[in-house]
Amino acid sequence: MARPPLFVTSLCTRQNVNSPIRNLSIAGTNSGVEGEAAAESPDQSSPENHQSEQQSFVEIAKDVCKVIRTRPRWEQILLSDFPTVNFTDPRFYAEVLKAQKNPLLSLRFYYWLSSQNGFLRDQFSDEVIFSGLVQAKAASAAKCFRQKMKFVPQPSCLEAYIQCLCQNGLIEDALDVFIELRGVGHCPSLKVWNSALSDSIRAGRTDIVWKLYEDMIESGVVADVDAIGHLIQAFCVENNVPKGHHLLRQVLEAGHAPSSVAFNRLIYESCKNRDYFRLSSLLHSMIATNCSVDISTYQHVIQGLCETRKRREAFRIFNDLKNRGYAPDMVMYTTMINGLCKMKLLGDARKLWFEMIQKGFNPNVYTYNTIIHGYLTNNHLSEAESLYKQMCEKGHGETTVTYNTMIYGLCLNGRVEEAHNLFNKMVEKGVAHDVITYNSLIQGFCKNGKIAEGLQFLYELLKQGLQPSPASYTVLIEKLCDIGHILEAKSLWNDMQDRGVKPAASTHDSIILGLIKQGYVTEGLDWLSSMMKSSLKPRRKTFEKLIYHLSQADKLDDSLSILDYMLRLGHVVRERILCSLVTKLCKDNSRHIEVQLGYIV
């Protein structure tokens, strides 16, 4: 068995030391008068003399270590500073390795020593150096030492080396050491296997996870619940949550429960995938197995439920966590207030607001904006304005996000002039406008019939060098088509395309309806065909307008084709449209009328 390393890994403070020249005579190893005299001494082997000699080793080893720590190019001066010291004596350099507190400096000394005439390596010193590097997590240095010195550590030392390699991300090198141990008939402990599995997951190397697990089974190692937890995490890394969840169920049915890390990883991935049912099941399983459900777990669950519009369930869990003695943080309060506002439960949101303040949390910019946005979108303007005033008094109001929140809410409620005043105030305060600022004003003015002002905001947005979004154009094109300005609408469409902005599906619908309204039914059909090729789903209103105008133009075959496509997309055809089409078919005296009627039914 290898002896334990004899030094620690902390670095020592450098000192400016002028080491005096020290002499050390060792019988049988030094030449000169002192060596001969020592050899002739009749008391050479006495206990007192041996103790004195060992004390000299220790003292001079400390001086050597001090030089190594404080002199940058100590290799060039070490022999001259200690001219009579035999550095290649194992008894002496063992003391240096004991006294040296820095494993990398010990390694450097050992490399220098190996270049000296008369130096003979020994297994014990090799293991001291190697073990020290492993304890210091110096994986690359330990690897180089093995290769350079052709050193073969004891199996127990290699187990520690595996963990060191894994912690440094050298997973494939660790896998080679597993193979090496297998070659000498040594099976690492389960702790080492689990450590390697954990670090492989952390490095994202699920391929090595499965290879390690396969080798574990072949080596006769029985996986414990921690190993299964690592496998569950590996499935999650591969975005194979169903398999991870299935493995969890098997473990739970066997009466075991993995660590909270495996549960939390499954919960996190379920949140990402918006899998509410699995997420809820995981949380209840954690509670049922007395697995540690920390505040971070609840945060993931509540946020995931709010994002998937399961806000009532999120609110129930939020209250449950408080009953269990957990204290929600600012983020969780803000998330829940936002969810309640979206459910139009402003009373509950307001209660949480005051509860949060009573708990010692001072609302920040995001929290203020969350509840103000909730008030504005639910037509509670006076409460929103009161909170906005309070927010400004506390110094949180001069941000782009805050101004955008107020501008959006005012525009939503038709108070576009007040929104415009805030827009101008942003300039006075030196607060930057962004695309959201302009989009809110464009939509607000257009919906209030002020299309010219909306266009002006779009031109200013482009002049400022901002990249427009589909929302910058959508409402403008829709309103221009409504008032019959189809050429201007198509011009904006072309501008979108030139700027690389992808139009929303509703924008296609607006152009088609605009063309139909102006009598350009054929061109409208061409635009519909383009939508179909782009896998976009037109609105029911678009289909109905096309069917009506085509039937009025006696293009009944085209009407029926549009009706067929409409039904295939799952749209429900209103009775009024069907009656109009049947009436037109009856008046047409077509000899295929019965076939056509039977097709419609």
What pLDDT score was predicted for residue 2?
Answer: 36
Q: Which residues contact 110 (CB under 8 A, 6 or more apart)?
A: 97, 125, 129
What pLDDT score was predicted for residue 439?
Answer: 95
Instruction: Identify the burial level of 14 via C-beta atoms within 10 angstroms of its C-beta, where 0-12 means exposed, 13-18 middle and 19 or more buried.
Output: exposed
Handedness of CA 82, 88, 89, 90 (dihedral sign): positive
What pLDDT score was predicted for residue 30?
Answer: 36
Rounded Cα distance between 436 and 329, Å, is: 29
What pLDDT score was predicted for residue 294?
Answer: 65
Rounded Cα distance between 121 and 123, Å, is: 7
Rounded Cα distance between 241 and 266, Å, is: 7
Neighbours of 583 (CB within 10 A): 11
Helix (H) or strand (E) holding 574: none
What pLDDT score was predicted for residue 443?
Answer: 94
- Residue boundaries of the structural domains of the chain: 1-151, 486-538, 540-601
What pLDDT score was predicted for residue 446?
Answer: 93
Spans of the chain, pLDDT less than 50:
1-44, 591-597, 599-601
Rounded Cα distance between 224 and 228, Å, is: 7
